[in-house]
């Protein structure tokens, strides 16, 4: 049974991998900490190989940010007027994170000023019960570290049955296997998650999975978003079965069709309150036990090349991630940390301005989604070969293709045998369609097979189960591009489907 420690967070140390347990703190970083706590006021440190800031070849950095003064729609008004707000990082003048500090070696969690700014944002938006923030180079970096914290050869991790291979690929290389959990248009089905855990036979499969990796908002690739009800059920299952939840949430702020906020409000606190009331409660916000590790990134809301994000976790996992960072990547680059710190400071957008940007960005993507669905309705739906559901969030629509209407569709009824062997040629037709669309129509969508987690007969129900390969009948379309790309793409899809099905 779990034991509650005195800070109210459950002891979850038994989840750590051998690697995480065996990792030593970087002794140099530890000495840095000791030095930083030394009471001597005129301490001369000749301990580290730190180039002195007088030799850093940067005097000043200027950033031209979109002005967020237009309260209704900063993204559009910036695109139209180009009105910018200048912010600066200085080496010697006053600013939120001076160059002279930013370019020094620092501790794993990131530079204090940047970490504090992001912690304030995290506390305001997610209000986690008792968690700590560590900067990362984005969620790819963060997840790579998180998976190694818990996984080792022979372990199984749980994830959505269609999951993001950029992430799931990583621990495969050191012997972790993935177990896909059945999903529908609302994401992972809690009862299916529970079923896997109940059915799990440790004698045949080894240790029961202890980590669930999921993308709860605008899931990649299906575009699904977990309802609050499902989140509560999944969290309760995680408590019962002692799971860690890795909440990878790059699309969190891109959630559509939410009630309009009173954006004209001049009062920052009121605006922020209105804005946060349109956001969905996260797993992190419900995490009384400390079993949620949340990953946030600036990739989708500023730019992918920012390579900056953060992990919010309980103290033990925070320390262990820090040990790993101190002996591997080191904290993220100073440029990104300086920019974000100035952006969130009183010299820049502040948290309020960033929220105005996020709100406006969400409207921008919602317009693109509306356009995609309009053109789909006009150009693709009348073919009768595909359909799409409106996603609540993110950048993706999951287009279902009706392969059973294809003249070469084959359905071989197997009697008996393993339930996970494909009974149809859906996957072959999907591959053909992907290639045809690309080579003859000049449009690319990602086939669902790219994301499908291979099934194992040992964790799949034998009765009435439709093999995943027979349900792999989707194309992932992103609406992140321009209106012109979206319009042309959908027209080409309609044409390509007609040609493919009427060959
Ligand atoms: N997780 C998911 C679900 C993603 O869709 C992406 C980017 N496509 C990432 C992680 C990677 O994010 P980052 O750029 O922060 O590494």
Could you give the 3-state DSSP secondary structure of residue 157?
A: strand
Q: Is the pLDDT of residue 351 over 70?
A: yes
For residue 494 and ligand 1, the question of a CB distance below 6 A is answered with no
pLDDT of residue 429: 98
> What does the mean pLDDT of the chain come to?
93
Q: What order do you get walking across the sheet with 386-387 strand by strand? A: 386-387, 396-401, 474-478, 446-447
Q: Which residue has the tokens 């970083």?
A: 29
- Name the nearest CA neighbour of 45 among 59, 57, 33, 27: 33
For residue 218 and ligand 1, the question of a CB distance below 6 A is answered with no
pLDDT of residue 341: 98
For residue 17 and ligand 1, the question of a CB distance below 6 A is answered with no
Cα of 385 vs centre of ligand 1, distance in Å, is 31
pLDDT of residue 1: 37
pLDDT, one tens digit per residue, over 361-388 is: 999 999 999 999 999 999 999 999 999 9
Could you give the 3-state DSSP secondary structure of residue 476?
A: strand
For 210-369, strand residue ranges (E) read: 211-214, 244-248, 292-297, 309-313
Which residue did the predictor score with more confidence, 9 or 173? 173
Region 12-26 average pLDDT: 94
For residue 287 and ligand 1, the question of a CB distance below 6 A is answered with no
Q: Is the pLDDT of residue 442 over 70?
A: yes
Cα of 140 vs centre of ligand 1, distance in Å, is 6
pLDDT, one tens digit per residue, over 444-493 is: 999 999 999 999 888 887 778 899 999 999 999 999 999 999 999 999 99
Q: Whose alpha carbon is nearest atom 3 of ligand 1? A: 220
pLDDT of residue 18: 97
Contacts of 252 (CB under 8 A, 6+ apart): 217, 279, 280, 282, 296, 393
Cα of 12 vs centre of ligand 1, distance in Å, is 26
Contacts of 127 (CB under 8 A, 6+ apart): 285
Q: What are phi and psi of 201, to 5 degrees?
A: -105, 100
Contacts of 230 (CB under 8 A, 6+ apart): 186, 187, 188, 189, 190
Domains of the chain and any CATH numbers: 361-501 (3.90.1150.10)
pLDDT of residue 6: 39
Region 115-123 average pLDDT: 98
Region 152-173 average pLDDT: 97
Cα dihedral 122, 123, 127, 128, rounded to 10, equals 70
Contacts of 151 (CB under 8 A, 6+ apart): 17, 157, 171, 174, 176, 211
Contacts of 76 (CB under 8 A, 6+ apart): 360, 364
Is 188:167 a contact under the CB 8 Å cutoff?
no
Is 497:477 a contact under the CB 8 Å cutoff?
no
pLDDT, one tens digit per residue, over 281-327 is: 999 999 999 999 999 999 999 999 999 999 999 999 999 999 999 99
Number of other residues whose CB lies within 10 A of the CB of residue 438 = 14
Which residue did the predictor score with more confidence, 49 or 211? 211
Region 326-333 average pLDDT: 95
pLDDT, one tens digit per residue, over 387-420 is: 999 999 999 999 999 999 999 999 986 655 556 8
For residue 27 and ligand 1, the question of a CB distance below 6 A is answered with no
pLDDT of residue 74: 85
> Helix 483-501 and helix 350-379: axis angle, to 10°?
30
Q: What pairing do the DSSP bridges indicate for beta strands 244-248 and 211-214? A: parallel
pLDDT of residue 2: 42
**Angle ∠(363,365,370) on CA atoms, nearest 5:** 90
> ipTM of this model?
0.99
Number of other residues whose CB lies within 10 A of the CB of residue 329 = 14
Residue 264's pLDDT band, with cuts at 50, 70 and 90, is: low
pLDDT of residue 414: 63
For residue 424 and ligand 1, the question of a CB distance below 6 A is answered with no
- Name the nearest CA neighbour of 494 among 387, 366, 395, 406: 387
Q: Is the pLDDT of residue 4 over 70?
A: no
pLDDT, one tens digit per residue, over 55-79 is: 999 999 999 999 987 767 888 888 8
% pLDDT > 90, the chain: 82
- Name the nearest CA neighbour of 454 among 469, 434, 465: 469
438 DSSP 8-state letter = I
Q: Worst-scoring range by mean pLDDT, 13-27, 64-78, 140-154?
A: 64-78
């Amino acid at each position: 049974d779990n034991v509650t420690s005195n800070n109210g967070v459950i002891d979850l140390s038994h989840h750590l991998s051998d690697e995480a347990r065996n990792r030593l703190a970087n002794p140099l970083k530890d000495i840095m900490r000791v030095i930083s706590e030394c009471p001597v006021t005129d301490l001369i440190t000749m301990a580290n190989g730190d180039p002195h800031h007088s030799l850093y070849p940067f005097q000043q950095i200027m950033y031209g940010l979109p002005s967020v003064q237009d309260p209704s729609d900063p993204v559009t008004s910036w695109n139209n007027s180009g009105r910018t707000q200048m912010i600066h990082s200085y080496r010697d003048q006053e600013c939120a994170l001076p160059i002279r500090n930013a370019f020094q070696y620092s501790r794993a969690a990131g530079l204090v000023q940047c970490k504090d700014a992001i912690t304030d944002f995290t506390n305001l938006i997610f209000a986690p019960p008792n968690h700590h923030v560590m900067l990362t180079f984005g969620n790819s970096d963060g997840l790579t570290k998180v998976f190694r914290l818990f996984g080792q050869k022979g372990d199984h991790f749980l994830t959505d049955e269609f999951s993001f291979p950029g992430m799931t690929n990583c621990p495969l290389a050191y012997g972790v296997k993935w177990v896909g959990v059945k999903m529908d248009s609302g994401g992972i089905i809690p009862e299916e998650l529970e079923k896997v855990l109940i059915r799990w036979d440790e004698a045949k499969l080894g240790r029961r999975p202890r980590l669930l990796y999921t993308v709860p908002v605008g899931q990649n690739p299906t575009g699904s978003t977990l309802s609050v009800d499902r989140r509560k059920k999944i969290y309760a299952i995680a408590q019962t079965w002692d799971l860690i939840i890795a909440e990878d949430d790059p699309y969190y702020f891109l959630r559509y069709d939410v009630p309009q906020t009173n954006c004209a409000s001049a009062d920052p606190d009121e605006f922020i309150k209105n804005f946060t009331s349109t956001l969905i409660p996260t797993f992190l916000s419900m995490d009384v036990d400390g079993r949620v590790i949340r990953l946030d990134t600036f990739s989708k809301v500023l730019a992918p090349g920012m390579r900056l994000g953060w992990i919010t976790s309980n103290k033990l996992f925070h320390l262990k991630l820090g040990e790993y960072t101190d002996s591997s990547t080191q904290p993220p680059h100073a440029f990104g940390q300086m920019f974000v710190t100035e952006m969130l400071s009183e010299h820049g957008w502040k948290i309020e301005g960033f929220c105005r940007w996020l709100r406006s960005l969400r409207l921008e993507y919602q317009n693109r989604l509306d356009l995609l669905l309009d053109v789909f309705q006009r150009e693709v739906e009348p073919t009768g070969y595909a359909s799409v559901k409106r996603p609540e969030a993110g950048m993706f629509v999951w287009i279902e293709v009706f392969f059973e209407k294809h003249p070469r569709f084959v359905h071989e009824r197997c009697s008996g045998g393993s339930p996970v062997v494909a009974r149809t040629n859906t996957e072959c037709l999907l591959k053909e369609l992907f290639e045809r669309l690309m080579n003859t129509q000049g449009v690319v969508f990602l086939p669902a097979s790219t994301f499908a987690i291979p099934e194992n007969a040992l964790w799949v129900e034998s009765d009435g189960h439709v093999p995943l390969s027979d349900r792999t009948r989707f194309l992932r379309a992103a609406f992140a591009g321009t209106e012109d790309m979206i319009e042309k793409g959908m027209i080409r899809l309609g044409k390509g489907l007609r040609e493919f099905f009427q060959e």
